[in-house]
A and B are shown apart, each in its own frame.
Chain A
Amino acid sequence: MKKYRNWLLLAVVMGIVVAACGGGDGEGATTTAGETATTGEGGAAGDTGYENLDAALAGEFDGTTVDVWAQWLPESSEASNFTYTLEPFQEATGITVNFQPTPDYETALQVAVDGGNAPDIAQIAQPGKMIQYGDAGSLIDIGSWINTEKLEADMVPAFYELGLFNDSVHGIYYKADVKSIVWYPVQGFADAGYTEPTTWDELTALSDQIVADGNGNPWCISIESQEADGWVATDWMEDILLRTAPIETYNAWINHEIPFNDPEVLEAAELMKQIWFTPDYAYGGNTYINATWIGETQDPMFAEGGPQCWMQKQAAWIGGFWGANRDALADDPALPQTEWPIKPETDVDFFYFPPIEDEFGKPVLGAADMFVQFEDRPEVRALLEWLATPEAAAGWIERGGFLSTLNTVPPESYVYPNTELSVLVQEATTLGFDASDLMPAEVGAGTFWSGMIDWVAANGENTEEVFQGIEDSWPAG
């Protein structure tokens, strides 16, 4: 027992000694992203139209910190670009923006919010999530303090409206994605004499042509995305439905005013089957569609002997995943597009996913990232206001891969492909927001996804069963 008494004494003594040595200065510094020493050239001082931002630019919040979480991970090009974009703000206002890219975002953010440890501002990709957080009472009502007139005037109306919850702004949209585009190999098309189709019939005719020529398969399609498996299929359904039914039907579908398996929707499904399940249309057949990771979908387009598949419908972020681009960007996320091994525009270009029925014009399907607010302080407000200005888009636009939700950004400031995309958005007859992001999560991130996977596994033969199943799963009330 003597031994233990000595230990005890030692512990007590150590405890006293070390406690007595206590007392230091400042807390452990949290790392900040991209803070530089140069004096600001940032936004214009004076009247921006947003009062908190004005105060910030006048230096009133110098030395404060704002925490921003996003799902763009540190080594990704999005994170690198966002950090770059934030620099002018930090220089001009002296506010430190603590940008925390967070892995396992879905879980981490939710636990943090529920556990009382929420960040000041968080990026989210689905309006549905904003509604969930709003229902739980976790969000700060942005509309209660921001200059809503200016915000509404500056933003593309569709995006402004989607940020509303209980008729007040709760989310500020920032970065948009256009989904209604199809990528194709420039040289391949030229060599084989193919041209960009401008109608649905031309699209299917081109597909038949490619099959007849024995040049591989016309379509590169795949949907495997680990936990988020199946969402690519939902995009196709939505894009087709926008082209075969009026926007009112589309919105009614989202709000469950018509059943999920409404005849109009099933008609759209038949058209989708035409591309996905016609024999020899899709490279590798339905097995490839379910088995191949979305980052590798288009790899056969860059095969050594010439393209083995010729068209992929996907938003512009896919460029970073084309074959050798994956490795190049892994080495250097800030690599400009002009230096990619497979270059957008010159090697691979896109055409607009053609309309199907003329009466519905040229709809565009899109989605966007928004910022919501969990904590309320003046400097947090200042940053949110800034994120709604063109300056917040400038840095990222310059680097490429960014399409703003504001209508105050001139198309000329964009680089390919966003120059064309912003025009596409402006000229769209209808702008549909990704339906699965708007439906209740049980469906939009649940049975719609899994239903599509089952549909593919059955090679499209159980359409009615699948859509009925999704309809049945719609949460009551």
Chain B
Amino acid sequence: MAQAVETLTPSQSGLKILRALLVVVGVGIALWLGLRLLTDPDVFSGLGPNWSKVSQALVALVLGVGGIWALFYAANTIVEVLPARASDLLRPYVFVLPAVAVVGLYLIYPTVGTVAQSFTEVPEGAGPLTNYTNAFTNADVLIALRNNLIWLLVAPAAAVVIGLAFAALVDRVKWESTAKSFVFMPLAISFVGASVIWQFVYAWKPAGQPQIGILNALWVWAGGFLVDWGIVAQVEPVPWLQIPFWTTFPLIAIMVWLQVGLAMVILSAAIKGVPVELTEAARIDGATELQAFFRITMPSIRGTILTVYTTIAIAVLKVFDIIFVTTGGNLDTSVVAVRMYQEMFRFRNFGQATTMAVILLVAVIPIMVVNIRNLRRQGIGS
């Protein structure tokens, strides 16, 4: 997108350049001072602990957000001073590089280190691929990989379908806000709270004892009828979390319960972004609500649906806490992220731990590629 080029007199462009430089210098000083300020423990100490922290936070917000804006403004000013071609060439980087830089330090640098370690942390004299061969011949790792696949096939689809259905339906209900808050609530509950919640859902007590988990209570109660009618001799409560292999599914249910809120939040925003006029026009033309939804709304938000699916799929690949805290990965329910944790913190086998991480990284690449291709295909972006 080329912009209209103004022609400036030498003094005007001179001023522009000067202004640009002043802006940059000014911003630079302000940020440097701000950083000094924030890392100096003495500055706020006179205000008392809570106020000191609050002031720190406020200064950080101002400097952070203001600073970022200022930086962009400064960079933009410089870029605009340049001749048009250079300007167009550099401008995108102004927008993009700060984020890339931050991610570069916090994620890319450790990741590169991780990938390298997976090849270099090997026992004396072993080849660079040792960790990988060990991983793929380890029965426990293969079980974990199988489980990740099951999770990947089931969980994101379930969450997206339910989330989409709910977002679409609730959009038309009067008490929309309340309904959404309830479905959203699991996201607000800390993970630890969620694990306690589900322990009370899946809890098992021996037959004959009062059940404290709601699933088994329902199971035993419903089973009571079957016993009364002579269909079965007795009904035993089910140890939902202790069934080798099958326990993965109750765990997936927990994840879906959490993720539907996420899907709903994003999809709801997207659905509301679809102009009402479009669907109304379709209704006027005789389409039913359902048809309008599938023919107008859904295609409009297809990109978002895919994004949500991808986001959840990635979260599912990384799933750790749910499994670690309920079964510890035992009974054939482990996944790669749990293996990674165990290798890293319990067995201190960094080679194996980093290998698990690389496996996850590689697994996500196809998902990302599909998503980006799809967005491109829809003709997104100039």
Contact = CB atoms under 8 A, between A and B. Distances in A.
Q: Do chains A and B touch in the complex (CB under 8 A)?
A: yes
Interface of A: 1, 4-5, 7-12, 14-16, 18-19, 21-28, 106-107, 110, 132, 136, 226-230, 283-285, 287-288, 290-291, 440-442, 445-447, 449-450, 453-454, 457, 469, 473, 476-477
A454 B345 contact: no
A185 B2 CA distance: 87
B62 A454 contact: no
A15 B37 contact: yes
Nearest to B44: A24
Given A291-B239, A442-B347, A445-B346, A453 B43 contact: no
B346 A106 contact: yes
Contacts of A457: 242-244, 331
B62 A14 contact: yes
Nearest to A29: B49
A290 B242 contact: yes
Nearest to A23: B42
Contact of B346 (A10, A284, A446): A446
Contact of B43 (A22, A226, A450): A22
Nearest to B41: A27
Given A11-B66, A454-B244, A442 B345 contact: no
Contact of A12 (B30, B140, B327): B30
A395 B147 CA distance: 50
Contact count band on B: 35 or more
B338 to A, nearest CB: 10
Contacts, number: 132
Contacts of B140: 447, 473
B220 to A, nearest CB: 14
B123 A477 contact: yes
Interface in B145-176: none
A115 to B, nearest CB: 12
A1 to B, nearest CB: 8
Nearest to A7: B66
B46 A24 contact: yes
Nearest to B52: A28
A226 B40 contact: no
Contacts of B239: 287, 290-291
Counting chain A CB atoms within 10 Å of each CB, which of B26, B33, B123, B326 scores highest? Answer: B33
A29 B289 CA distance: 64
Nearest to B63: A11
Contacts of A449: 328, 330
Contact of B42 (A24, A106, A285): A24
Contacts of A136: 348
Interface stretch (B67-75, B112-120, B226-234, B298-306): B67-75
Contact of A18 (B43, B73, B324): B43
Given A291-B239, A440-B347, 18 more contacts: A1-B73, A8-B26, A11-B27, A11-B63, A11-B70, A12-B27, A14-B62, A15-B29, A15-B30, A22-B43, A23-B43, A226-B326, A287-B204, A287-B239, A291-B242, A449-B328, A454-B330, A457-B331
B241 interface: yes
Contact of B69 (A4, A9, A106, A440): A4
A92 to B, nearest CB: 30
A43 to B, nearest CB: 34
A288 B70 CA distance: 63
30 contacts: A1-B73, A5-B23, A7-B70, A8-B27, A8-B66, A11-B27, A11-B62, A15-B31, A15-B33, A18-B43, A19-B33, A19-B37, A22-B43, A23-B42, A24-B45, A28-B49, A110-B348, A226-B328, A227-B325, A227-B328, A229-B328, A284-B206, A287-B204, A287-B242, A290-B239, A441-B347, A445-B347, A446-B347, A447-B140, A477-B123
